[in-house]
Every structure is written in C-alpha cells, then in structure tokens.
C-alpha cells in the first residue's frame, strides 16, 4: 500500500535580531505545532536561529518563470530609480 | 577479561549528583537506541536531540560528582565502570523503549518532573549545580513540550494510538513514585539549601500530567502502588542488558584511551 | 553524506520536446545559470535528477544504520555524543535531499516506498558491516572523505535546490571526517591491539570505499549527459584519483598500510591503485552484499512500525482542523 503523504512545510529562520526570516528548507509534519517543533529540531541544531516561521508549502503562490519577461523585465529599463543615475559634483560630498 | 568496578565514595552530595547523572545517561542511551529507527525522519532528529541534551547533562553531573568525590574517578569511569548495583537511576528511565507510545510516555513522565526539578535547583546554594540546572531546565522544558504534544496526538489520534498510549501509561505509572523519594542524606542536602525537595514538586507535576493526559482523552491509573529501588541500585532486569552494551568496550579493553 | 555515481542518465527524447526550449535550457546551463523548480526542463533532466537526488537521500538514511550500530557501544561519553550527533546529521541530510527531490514533483513517501520496495538504489558502501569501533573511525575518515570529494562539486550543480542542499550538507559535514580521523589517530597512538584494530578496519573498507565513486569511466555510458547538464562536474575516475591522492599521506601519517601491495606513485605524484574488483561492486549493488538484506529489513521495520504513529498524527490533525472549522462557524 502506498504511504499516505504528510503535509510539506517551508521553514524560514531569523538568524539574528535585525535580520529578516530567510527560507532554509522544508520538512514534513502533520500540523503546524509539529512543523514548528520539527523545524527547531532540524534547522537550528547549530544555533542557527532566534525565530522560526513555518508555512504550509501549499499556501505559497509562486510566479511563473515563463512569465519572467512580463513580470521582471519592465523594471530593468527604469534606471532613473537608482541613485547612480544622477550626477552630483564630488565637492558636494556624500549624498 | 572484565575490568573491576570502580569504588565510589558516595557522600550525600556525590550520590545526589550521581542519581541525576544516571537518570540522564540511561534515558539518553535509551533514546539513542531509536536513532535510525524512528517512525519518521523528523522524529529521528527530535529524539536524537533529546538524547544529546541528556547525555550532555549526564557528563556535567558526572564531572561534578567526580570533583565532589575527590578521588581519581571521571565521567567515563563513572559511566563505564560501575555495575548494575552501583547505578542510581530511576527505574522509569531504564525501562525499554517499547513502542513509540511507551518511549514518549516515559519521556513525558520524566521530563515533567525533571523540568520542575531543574527549575527549583537553579536556586541551589551550590553554584555549579545551579548552573547545570539553569542549562538543563531549558532543555527539559522543550523535552516536556515535545512529549506532551505527542501524548495528545497519540491519545486523541486513532483507536490504535489511543490504545497504545493508554497501555504505556498503565505500564509506566508504577515507576513514577520513585521520583519523589528522598533518603536521609538527601534530606540533609535539602535542609542545607543544596538539593531540591521533590515533595514540593509533586502537586505541580501531577497537575501537568493530568492536564495533558486529559486533553489526550486518556486516564491515569487509580492504583498508586509504586515500584522503588533504582535509587539504591535495586534495578529491573533491563538495566543489566543496557549496561553490558553501554560498557562493552571499556570492559573488553580495560584501561585504554579511545 | 554519500552520493554515488550509480545513476544513469535518461536517454533524451528530444523528438517529443520543443527543440527551441531545449536549446534555451542548454544555453542557460552553459551560462552557469541555476535551474529552479518551476523552470521548464527536459523530462530527462527531471527524471535523472529525481533519481540521483533520491538515491543520495536513501544513501544518507540507510547510511545511518552501520554507524548507528555503534551508538550504544561508543567507548566514551564524548565519542558517544559525537557519533550520535553525526548519525543524526546524516538523517538531516537525507531529509534535506528528499525535500530537494520533492521540488521535482515526486513526494517523499513515493520515493521512500520505491526504496523499501527495492526499486531504488543507495550507495553500495552501506552494505558492509561495522564490526569494531575502528570501523566507526574508518567510515568517518574514508567514507565521509570520499563523500566530500563527490559532494563538493555538487554544490555547483545546475539544479538550484540540489546545490543548496549540498551546500548545507557540506557545511555540516565538515566535522564528520575530522571526527573519524581523530578516532583513527587515537587508535594508532594506542596499544598494539588498537592499532591492529585500525589496520583491520582499513583493510576491510579500502576497496569498498574506492567503489563508492562508481564504475570506471570507460564503463560509464551516461556520464556525458550528466556532464553536459552540469549535474556532474568530474568523472568517476577523476574523483577516485583525487581521493586516493589525498588519502595515502593521511594513512602514512597514521602509520597504516593501504591494502594494495601493487600501489605505486607515478612521476606526477599520483598514487596508482590496482584493479578494482568490479564483480563484487555489481553483486553488492544487485543486493548481494554482506548486509543488503539486513539494511532493507531495518528500514522496512522502522517504516512499518511507525505507520500507526504517522496515522495518529494525521488523524489528530484532521480532528483539530474539523474542531477549528466548527468553532469558526459558531
């Protein structure tokens, strides 16, 4: 008999205060409480974390790589959004 | 070819440390037997973590005992060169792993007690004991959380898991009374503000146990006849087998460095 | 911990796939871009990777057994803690790798079921027994050493999730080989009996470890595709040679003899080893090694005896979800 699937969770860890939570990996757990415990036991064994988020993998909506052009390329031409686009004389100093 | 057992000067303080050290080592050893065989990889990780915490606690307590004893014993001599009659752990922790329910109920009963005990010991007049307690309390608090969540799931899961969890509680209950026993030497340490009086923990322990057990739709046995003996070296038959495995290298190859 | 070049790449079926997409895919690989789970990829790439990553994961999990055999008998508390932590790490590595394989569309359960049914391979090395404490040292030193040779290039594998898992694995594994070598060093500095134990373990493990790198390049027909896809960056023989060259001086330092009387050092400094017994390798892979049956039996037992626990957790989760829904409706 095929083994029934246990839900998959994505794990995010904040390694230090002041930093954002970062995706570190996945695990399987039957519910959120167990997922959080498992995340602690699997992903923070070497003192990697101060805070953990677990999210059901099924709750994540991802962009489609096939739409990469439409989604991300239009931003590439907006060079005026970056500070280096503007010229400020050196004498003015850091701005 | 077996190497002789070491002699231990069991002053009340040494004995007190050894009892806690042996609890931690034997339970840690039991949990380490799961490594590679747990119901899911996530639990392999969790049980190994708990085992590592417990082995770490044992090592610190053995070091403390050896220092208090002022002979040439050390953590390894204390762990590997005492026989069954010299071991001072609770009968509870030497009970075999059985199924996952039995392992988790054993852990639950023990951790609920150990956590209270460490918390109280944090105000021991012996700073080393207080420091060991402070570190161990954080570990045992998590062990209790982990075990409690499983008791709830097993009790309130399927008919089979409920039956197994109840059977584990019924089987292990009689080993819980020993946690609260105190001898004269320990009584003196309690009065001196060094050791924890377990009697003061009993009410809260029972409350924790009852709350979780009832949430798990399980029941505690009515029979309060309790097994005793581990603290004075009168063990169950299981410990001898555990020690023959644990100590096999040191007994087969005496006096070597590994 | 251990990947092995067991996997054979799928034959490509370009006729069924959009040739333009395939070309674009190959161009991305050539440009050292990483492929991510939702990206288009040739079916054969997906299948090859799923197989390789899951074999790698199975190897980690089965690999817990030979070393786990000594956790309860480790000779000191320090060694016991280190060994338990190491074997636990292997479990974690298996877990990361299953997760990486799952990004390709297979579930962990499916992959594990295939392994338990004997339909998926794992590294041949774990079908040898650990007889003495020196075997634990030797596994850390040689088996992990060989695995590291294999795994470091995989950190640059074209498939993002696999590469990321390998980075984590390599980072965690840095203590494993040192742990093993330290055990060997202690034995070799110990009594005659301990030194003999170390030599005996090296004698038994040396050839199986060389086999871990997989069949010789002349016999490995499918390496080409894996190389072109940048899953594989070095050939089996290249990695094997690198390993031997690194290991010989380590053995010399220990005062141990590599059990290969025909071994010579060539003008370039490479240590040339004798012919490997590939018949043994094939037999072990086919299920006829000394421990294949025991290993599979142990994994099946854990899986079957754990079924009621997994069912209980699932049943509880379903009950809790129902209760929460009911509460929300009130």
pLDDT at C1 over 70: no
Task: Select the residue of B45, B149, B153 nearest A41 (Cβ to Cβ).
Answer: B45
The upper half-sphere exposure of residue A18, i.e. CA atoms within 13 Å in the direction of its Cβ, equals 1
Query: Can you give the C-alpha Rg of chain B in angstroms?
Result: 18
Task: Select the residue of C99, C112, C303 nearest A25 (Cβ to Cβ).
Answer: C99
Q: Do A46 and C92 touch (CB under 8 A)?
A: no
Identify the pLDDT of residue B228. 96
Residue B160 pLDDT class (50, 70, 90 cuts): very high
Can you tell me which residue has the tokens 């142990």?
C298
Q: Quick check: B227 contacting C, CB < 8 Å?
A: no
Q: Do A41 and B40 touch (CB under 8 A)?
A: no
Identify the pLDDT of residue B56. 98
CA distance B18 to B5: 16
Task: Select the residue of B41, B58, B157 nearest C313 (Cβ to Cβ).
Answer: B157
Contacts with A37 from chain B: Cβ below 8 Å: 46, 145-146, 149
Q: What is the set of domains in chain B, with CATH numbers? A: 12-219+227-252 (1.20.1260.10)
Contacts with C88 from chain A: Cβ below 8 Å: 45
Shortest CA gap A3–chain C (Å): 6
- Region C98-118: mean pLDDT is 96
CA distance B116 to B244: 32
Residue C221 pLDDT class (50, 70, 90 cuts): low
DSSP codes joined into one string, B161-221:
HHHHHHHHHHHHGGGSGGGG---HHHHHHHHTTSS--GGGGHHHHHHHHHHHHHHTT----
**3-state SS class at A28:** strand
End-to-end CA distance of chain A: 67
CA distance C224 to C318: 48
Tally of CB atoms within 10 A around B180: 15
Contacts with C82 from chain A: Cβ below 8 Å: none
Identify the pLDDT of residue B107. 98
- Region B189-199: mean pLDDT is 98
CA distance B151 to B110: 13
**3-state SS class at C239:** helix
In terms of pTM, does the model score above 0.90?
A: yes
CATH number of A8-92: 3.10.20.520
Q: Do C313 and A30 touch (CB under 8 A)?
A: yes
Residues 6+ away with beta carbon under 8 Å from A80: none
CA distance B29 to B74: 19
> What are the tens digits of pLDDT across the range C45-86?
999 999 999 999 999 999 999 999 999 999 999 999 999 999
Strands C271-272, A51-56: pairing kind: unpaired
Residues 6+ away with beta carbon under 8 Å from B167: B101, B102
pLDDT at C2 over 60: no
Give all strands of the β-sheet with A51-56 in edge-to-edge order: A22-28, A8-14, A51-56
- Region C279-295: mean pLDDT is 96
Write out C267-323 in H/E/C secondary structure. CCCCEECCCCCHHHHHHHHHHHCCCHHHHHHHHHHHHHHHHHHHHHHHHHHHHHHHH
Q: Quick check: B197 contacting A, CB < 8 Å?
A: no
Contacts with B142 from chain A: Cβ below 8 Å: 40
Can you tell me which residue has the tokens 């057992």?
B5
Identify the pLDDT of residue C6. 44
Q: Do C109 and A3 touch (CB under 8 A)?
A: yes
Interface partners of chain A (CB pairs < 8 Å, 3 or more) are B, C
Selected for mutation to probe chain B from A11, A26, A33, A34 (highest B CB count within 10 Å) is A34
CA distance A23 to A14: 9
Q: Which residue from B minimizes the CA distance to A40?
A: B46
Which residues of chain A have a pLDDT value below 50? none
Identify the pLDDT of residue A65. 86
> What are the tens digits of pLDDT across the range B7-55?
999 999 999 999 999 999 999 999 999 999 999 999 999 999 999 999 9
Q: Do B153 and A6 touch (CB under 8 A)?
A: no
Q: Quick check: A3 contacting C, CB < 8 Å?
A: yes
Identify the pLDDT of residue C174. 82
pLDDT at C203 over 70: yes
Beta bridge partners of B68: none
Identify the pLDDT of residue C223. 67
Q: Do C77 and B37 touch (CB under 8 A)?
A: no
Q: Quick check: B42 contacting A, CB < 8 Å?
A: yes
The ipTM, to two decimals, is 0.97
Chain-centre distance of CA B196, in angstroms? 16
More confident residue, C298 or A67: C298
Q: Which of residues 95-124 of B touch A (CB under 8 A)?
A: none
CA distance C183 to C176: 11
Q: What is the mean pLDDT of chain C?
A: 93
Per-domain boundaries in chain A:
8-92
pLDDT at B210 over 80: yes
> What are the tens digits of pLDDT across the range B65-108?
999 999 999 999 999 999 999 999 999 999 999 999 999 999 99
Burial of B211 (0-12, 13-18, 19+ CB in 10 A): exposed
Q: Which residue from A minimizes the CA distance to B49?
A: A41
CA distance B27 to B53: 10
Interface partners of chain B (CB pairs < 8 Å, 3 or more) are A, C
Q: Do A31 and C39 touch (CB under 8 A)?
A: no
The upper half-sphere exposure of residue C189, i.e. CA atoms within 13 Å in the direction of its Cβ, equals 9
Beta bridge partners of C271: C265
* Secondary structure letter of residue C11 according to DSSP: P
- Both tokens of C195, joined, read 């030194």
Identify the pLDDT of residue C7. 42
Q: Do B40 and A42 touch (CB under 8 A)?
A: no
Identify the pLDDT of residue B48. 98
Element (H, E) at A76: helix A68-76
Nearest residue to B197 via CA among B74, B41, B34, B16: B16
Q: Quick check: A30 contacting C, CB < 8 Å?
A: yes
CA distance B24 to B113: 12
Contacts with A2 from chain C: Cβ below 8 Å: 109-110, 113
> What are the tens digits of pLDDT across the range C4-15?
444 444 444 545
Task: Select the residue of C38, C40, C99 nearest A62 (Cβ to Cβ).
Answer: C38
CA distance C296 to C300: 6
Task: Select the residue of B40, B41, B46 nearest A37 (Cβ to Cβ).
Answer: B46
Task: Select the residue of C71, C77, C301 nearest B79 (Cβ to Cβ).
Answer: C77
Shortest CA gap C315–chain B (Å): 5
Q: Quick check: B97 contacting C, CB < 8 Å?
A: no
Interface partners of chain C (CB pairs < 8 Å, 3 or more) are A, B
pLDDT at B251 over 50: yes
Percent of chain B at pLDDT exceeding 70 = 99
């Amino acid at each position: 008999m095929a083994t029934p699937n246990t839900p998959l969770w994505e794990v995010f860890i904040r390694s230090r205060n002041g930093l954002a939570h970062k995706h570190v990996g996945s695990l399987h757990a039957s519910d959120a409480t167990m997922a959080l415990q498992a995340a602690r036991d699997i992903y923070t064994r070497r003192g990697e974390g101060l805070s953990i988020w677990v999210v059901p993998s099924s709750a994540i909506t991802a962009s489609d790589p096939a739409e990469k052009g439409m989604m991300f390329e239009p931003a590439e031409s907006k060079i005026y959004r970056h500070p280096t686009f503007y010229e400020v004389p050196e004498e003015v100093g850091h701005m | 070819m077996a190497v002789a057992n070491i002699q231990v000067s069991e002053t009340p303080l040494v004995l007190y440390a050894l009892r806690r050290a042996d609890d931690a080592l034997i339970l840690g050893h039991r949990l380490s037997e799961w490594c590679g065989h747990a119901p899911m990889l996530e639990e392999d990780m969790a049980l190994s973590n708990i085992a590592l915490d417990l082995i770490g606690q044992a090592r610190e307590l053995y070091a403390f005992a050896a220092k208090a004893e002022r002979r040439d014993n050390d953590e390894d001599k204390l762990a590997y060169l005492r026989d069954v009659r010299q071991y001072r752990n609770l009968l509870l922790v030497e009970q075999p792993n059985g199924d996952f329910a039995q392992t988790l109920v054993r852990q639950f009963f023990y951790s609920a007690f150990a956590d209270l005990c460490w918390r109280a010991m944090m105000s021991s007049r012996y700073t080393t004991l207080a420091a060991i307690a402070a570190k161990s309390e954080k570990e045992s608090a998590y062990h209790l959380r982990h075990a409690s969540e499983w008791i709830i799931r097993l009790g309130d899961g399927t008919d089979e898991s409920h039956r197994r969890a109840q059977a584990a509680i019924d089987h292990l209950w009689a080993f819980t009374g020993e946690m609260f026993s105190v001898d004269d030497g320990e009584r003196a340490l309690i009065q001196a503000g060094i050791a924890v009086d377990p009697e003061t923990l009993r009410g809260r322990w029972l409350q924790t146990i009852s709350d979780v057990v009832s949430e798990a739709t399980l029941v505690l046995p009515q029979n309060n006849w309790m097994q005793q003996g581990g603290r004075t070296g009168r063990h169950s038959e299981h410990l001898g087998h555990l020690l023959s495995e644990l100590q096999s290298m040191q007994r087969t190859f005496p006096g070597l460095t590994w | 911990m251990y990947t092995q070049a067991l996997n054979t790449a799928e034959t490509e079926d370009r006729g069924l796939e959009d040739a333009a997409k395939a070309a674009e895919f190959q161009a991305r690989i050539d440009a050292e871009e990483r492929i991510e789970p939702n990206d288009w990829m040739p079916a054969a790439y997906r299948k090859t990777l799923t197989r390789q990553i899951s074999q790698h994961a199975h190897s980690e999990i089965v690999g817990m057994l030979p070393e786990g055999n000594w956790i309860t008998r480790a000779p000191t508390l320090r060694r016991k803690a280190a060994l338990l932590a190491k074997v636990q790490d292997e479990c974690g590595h298996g877990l990361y790798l299953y997760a990486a394989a799952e990004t390709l569309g297979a579930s962990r359960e499916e992959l594990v079921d295939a392994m338990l049914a004997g339909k998926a391979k794992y590294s041949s090395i774990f079908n040898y027994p650990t007889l003495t404490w020196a075997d634990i040292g030797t596994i850390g030193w040689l088996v992990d050493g060989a695995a590291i040779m294999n795994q470091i290039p995989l950190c640059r594998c074209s498939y993002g999730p696999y590469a990321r898992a390998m980075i984590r694995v390599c980072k965690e594994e840095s203590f494993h080989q040192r742990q093993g070598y330290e055990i060997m060093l202690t034995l070799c500095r110990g009594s005659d009996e301990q030194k003999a134990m170390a030599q005996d373990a090296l004698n038994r493990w040396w050839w199986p470890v060389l086999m871990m790198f997989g069949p010789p390049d002349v016999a490995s027909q499918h390496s080409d595709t894996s190389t072109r896809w940048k899953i594989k960056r070095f050939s089996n023989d290249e990695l094997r040679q690198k390993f031997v060259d690194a290991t010989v001086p380590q053995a010399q330092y220990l005062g141990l003899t590599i059990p290969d009387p025909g071994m010579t050092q060539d003008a370039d400094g490479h240590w040339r080893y004798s012919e490997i017994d590939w018949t043994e390798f094939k037999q072990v892979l086919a299920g006829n090694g000394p421990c294949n049956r025991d290993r599979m039996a142990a994994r099946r037992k854990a899986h079957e005896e754990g079924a009621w626990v997994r069912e209980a957790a699932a049943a509880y989760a379903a009950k809790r979800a129902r209760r929460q829904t009911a509460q929300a409706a009130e």
